[in-house]
């Protein structure tokens, strides 16, 4: 309770001078994390995680003060938009090669973020150096004399939708490379997968991969024309057979339900809804574009949108569990 009081005190103190909600939040946590670092100095891993958080918060806080002084939100907005990259760089600096395990699991998200940045840079380049013109949000141009039907395609939302579908169709190959997943050659395991696949009702080939990590997990991925599942474990032979069957059945149920396709469709619908409601597509819009919504409002809107998307994900997980159970496999 005392921690919350301290954070609240620092927040309102900074808010009194800055009049900026986001800067005040970053400043309050920055000050509080200084205390946490000294209190946890005897715990190296936790201390390093706190240092990563401290540096990230401080960069955003200082950028917020600079934006306040220059009366230009670009510094605060850009620092927040690129904070994920600050975390990545600091992770490698402080943890070295050990951070590769974390990076590999986060790499698909970073790949998407990287492609979003490239998309924005491409839009800026085309607008400045070619006769073509990409707009930020075509809906805002409806009714103006400059509006054309092509605006619905010549905009950042449409480009990001295209990027998401490209990622969907090449995700099998990309994830194998990013996560270091190797094709399974164990004949017994492949026969087990075929048997469960038939029980689930899947026709066609499903590629089976293995990722060597000190955790137990699995995933279904790839497109409709490139179905894949992967088992993540330290040693395949140490997984109990009943548990392995349950894991395989659950992931194959995702494949049967075309859940990766559904998630891509949901992402596309999300971007279309954002376009029609005038909600920025990404945080990078605040660096490269000119959104009308303040970033702090966008952050809370995003949290609400992600909560809705999370509910959809949980529904798909429940459907996969139910499908596996009906096929005679209960995931332990």
Phi and psi of 73, rounded to 5°? -70, -5
- Give the chain's mean pLDDT: 89
Beta strand segments in 199-325, E: 207-212, 217-221, 228-233
User: For residue range 260-274, what is the model confidence (pLDDT) as tens digits?
Assistant: 999 999 999 999 999
pLDDT in tens, 13-43: 999 888 899 999 999 998 888 888 887 778 8
Dihedral sign for Cα atoms in the order 135, 138, 142, 147:
positive
Contact 17, 11 (CB under 8 A): no
The one-character DSSP state at 144 is S
- Domain spans of the chain, in order of start: 1-81
Whole-angstrom Cα distance, residue 187 to residue 190? 5
Instruction: Determine the pLDDT at residue 279.
Output: 92
pLDDT digits (tens, 9 = 90+) for 142-169: 667 777 777 888 889 999 999 999 999 9
Say what the pLDDT of residue 332 is: 46
* Both tokens assigned to 212: 């060597």
**In 3-state terms, what secondary structure has residue 316?**
helix
Give the whole-angstrom CA distance, residue 286 versus residue 168: 26
Q: What is the pTM of this model?
A: 0.87
């Amino acid at each position: 309770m005392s921690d919350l009081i301290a954070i609240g005190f620092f927040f309102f103190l900074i808010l009194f001078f800055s009049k900026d909600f986001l800067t005040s939040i970053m400043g309050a946590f920055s000050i509080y994390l200084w205390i946490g670092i000294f209190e946890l100095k005897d715990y190296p891993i936790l201390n390093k995680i706190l240092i990563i958080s401290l540096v990230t918060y401080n960069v955003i806080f200082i950028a917020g003060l600079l934006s306040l002084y220059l009366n230009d939100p670009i510094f605060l907005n850009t620092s927040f938009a690129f904070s994920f990259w600050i975390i990545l760089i600091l992770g490698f600096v402080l943890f070295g090669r050990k951070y590769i395990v974390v990076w590999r699991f986060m790499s698909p998200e970073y790949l998407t973020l990287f492609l979003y940045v490239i998309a924005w840079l491409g839009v800026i380049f085309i607008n400045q150096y070619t006769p073509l013109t990409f707009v930020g949000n075509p809906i805002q141009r409806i009714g103006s004399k400059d509006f054309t039907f092509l605006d619905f395609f010549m905009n950042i939302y449409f480009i990001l939708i295209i990027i998401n579908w490209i990622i969907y169709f090449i995700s099998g190959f990309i994830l194998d490379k990013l996560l270091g997943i190797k094709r399974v050659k164990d004949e017994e395991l492949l026969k087990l997968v075929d048997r469960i696949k038939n029980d689930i009702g899947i026709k066609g080939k499903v590629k089976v991969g293995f990722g060597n990590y000190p955790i137990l997990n699995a995933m279904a991925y790839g497109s409709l024309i490139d179905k894949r599942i992967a088992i993540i474990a330290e040693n395949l032979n140490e997984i109990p057979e009943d548990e392995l069957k349950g894991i395989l059945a659950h992931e194959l149920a995702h494949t049967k339900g075309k859940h990766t396709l559904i998630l891509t469709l949901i992402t596309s619908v999300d971007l279309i809804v954002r376009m029609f409601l005038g909600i920025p597509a990404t945080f990078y819009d605040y660096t490269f574009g000119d959104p009308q919504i303040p970033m702090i409002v966008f952050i809370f809107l995003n949290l609400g949108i992600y909560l809705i998307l999370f509910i959809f994900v949980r529904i798909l997980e429940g459907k996969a569990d139910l499908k596996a159970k009906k096929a005679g496999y209960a995931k332990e």
